[in-house]
Amino acid sequence: MTSDADYEVDVAVVGGGACGLVAALRAARNPDLLVAVFEKSTKEGCNSQFSSGSLAAGGTRYQRAAGISDSPEQHARDILAVNGDPDAEPIVTALCRVAPHYVEWLADELGHPVELGVDMARSGQSVPRLHTDTGRAGGARLIATLRRAVEARDNIVFVDNAPGTGLLTAEDGSVTGVEVLDGGEPRRAGARAVVLAADGFAANPNMMAEFCPDAAGAFYGGVSTSTGDAIRWGLELGAATRNMGGFLGHGLVVPGHGTRLNPVLPFLGALLVGTDGRRFVDEKAQGYSKLGRIIAEQPGGRALLIWDERAHKAAMHSELMRESAAAGAFRRHETLGALATATGLPDSRLAETLAGFRSVSVVDNPSGTDHGPLHFPLYAGWATRGVLTTQGGLLVDTLGRVQHHSGHPIPGLYAGGGSAAGISGPTSEGYMSGNGLLTALGFGWITGNHLAATLGRR
């Protein structure tokens, strides 16, 4: 421990999002451990809080009850088939194996209202495996559940408005604590283990320009606190990084509003057209991160998503869609003329495109249910490319231990969430829905359990 520390804990967690909260809760199962969570700003929020709250997990009891055959191994194969990163197999497998456990723990021990989103089809997922909260309130409800659980634990201290400013180290290079600003005053918190669970660096223009130049000009839809501080501290200690060019893009961000259209819409039979009124992509064949790049290449960097009443009723179950509706991010149109006038698209070309399109939903039936052409009234909203979070970060092993560039773990230092390298590969195109929270909750679970088991009495 650090002799000149202002206070001493067993585990110091930097970041109070999904990863940090789960890590704290699992470590605190050991009653001999005192855990402190230092959160930069609950007012600004974390990326998990503004996510859809969808938890990807294969082999849960919810899937079995729905007659869906799945497993962690199948989940891992699906991710590896998309991410273009075969070297990530050990990490992907480790995360997928723990996912069913924390999904059921959220429901059974924390009282989170979990259900399987059988209607939440996503590109690359061989079966429905996104678990969500009943009512689809999204990430805000998930974070509220975790924070209530933290507040109920006597051996966890949650410190808000306490951004980390650096790591404390010993002469041998081991990490012995963290420096924070507590009430605006610098404080040194000695710790036997430090867990970096901060968001990534998508709000840091310099880091984005250096590592993710492909995202230049894209709308940023994440939180302002994603400044990459924890990654920088790791680099200062010689930590290795991985997939720093990867980021979570989104092809269904509404320009001028910043809200998102429900990514299930293409799987309900929605249609994407360019500014010339022509269809330019197979909507269901793309993950929404890859779709962002495709839309960015269109004239004006935008496209119009069109859907019918049947798809609309299903899509409105999502909080993302309800937020877009409240913002006026899409409109209902009773006739072709009204749609063409409102969007500025050529009516003859738009009529031709609509007449040749057949609405096929894979939500009703995985093999595809043909609903025929779209019928008015139709809904339409413009979509553009956005960046939500970065996916690169500090290289960790299957226990969440940060790796030095020489190949050994940095003693006392762990990472997860936006601070750790994700599992979506080196670009924005390898992201599969649910990968972000899988990394966040998964590493929180793994690291917290490991610390609870290995840190004995002081």
pLDDT at 4: 82
- Token pair of 148, please? 């209530």
Fold assignment, 7-245+391-454: FAD/NAD(P)-binding domain (3.50.50)
Q: DSSP letters along 133-194, please?
A: ETT---HHHHHHHHHHHHHT-TTEEEESS--EEEEEE-TTS-EEEEEEEETTEEEEEE-SEE
Residue 267 DSSP symbol: G
Spell out the residues 6+ positions from residue 87 whose beta carbon is closer than 8 angstroms to its own. Answer: none
pLDDT at 402: 98
Q: Which of 216, 205, 208, 250 is nearest to 384 (CA)?
A: 250
pLDDT at 207: 97
Taking each helix axis from N to C end, the angle separating 347-356 and 336-343, rounded to the nearest 10 degrees, works out to 120
CATH number corresponding to 248-387: 3.90.700.10
Task: Report d(CA 294, CA 428) in Å as an integer.
Answer: 11
**Cβ atoms 11, 36 nearer than 8 A:** yes
**Maximum Cα interatomic distance, the chain, rounded to a whole number of Å:** 77
pLDDT at 458: 66
Residue 282 DSSP symbol: -
Using DSSP, state whether 321 is helix, strand or coil. Answer: helix
pLDDT at 360: 83
pLDDT at 366: 61
Task: Report d(CA 144, CA 380) in Å as an integer.
Answer: 33
pLDDT at 25: 98
Spell out the residues 6+ positions from residue 348 whose beta carbon is closer than 8 angstroms to its own. Answer: none
Cβ density class 214-239: b for 16+ within 10 Å, e for less: bbeebbbbbbebbbbbbbebbeebeb
**Cβ atoms 350, 339 nearer than 8 A:** yes
Using DSSP, state whether 115 is helix, strand or coil. Answer: strand
pLDDT at 149: 98
Using DSSP, state whether 7 is helix, strand or coil. Answer: strand
Q: Which of 111, 103, 16 is nearest to 53 (CA)?
A: 103
Spell out the residues 6+ positions from residue 253 whose beta carbon is closer than 8 angstroms to its own. Answer: 219, 221, 259, 260, 292, 383, 384, 385, 386
Per-residue pLDDT in tens (0 to 9) along the chain, 458 residues: 455 889 999 999 999 999 999 999 999 999 999 999 999 999 999 999 989 899 999 999 999 999 999 999 999 999 999 999 999 999 999 999 999 999 999 999 999 999 999 989 888 999 999 999 999 999 999 999 999 999 999 999 999 999 999 999 999 999 999 999 998 999 999 999 999 999 999 999 999 999 999 898 899 998 999 999 999 999 999 999 999 999 999 999 999 888 999 999 999 999 999 999 999 999 988 888 899 999 999 999 999 999 999 999 999 998 889 999 999 999 999 999 999 999 999 999 999 999 999 988 877 666 666 778 999 999 999 999 999 999 999 999 999 999 999 999 999 999 999 999 999 999 999 999 999 999 999 999 999 999 999 997 66
Residue 50 DSSP symbol: G
pTM, two decimal places: 0.91
pLDDT at 331: 97
Going from N- to C-terminal start, the domains of the chain cover 7-245+391-454, 248-387
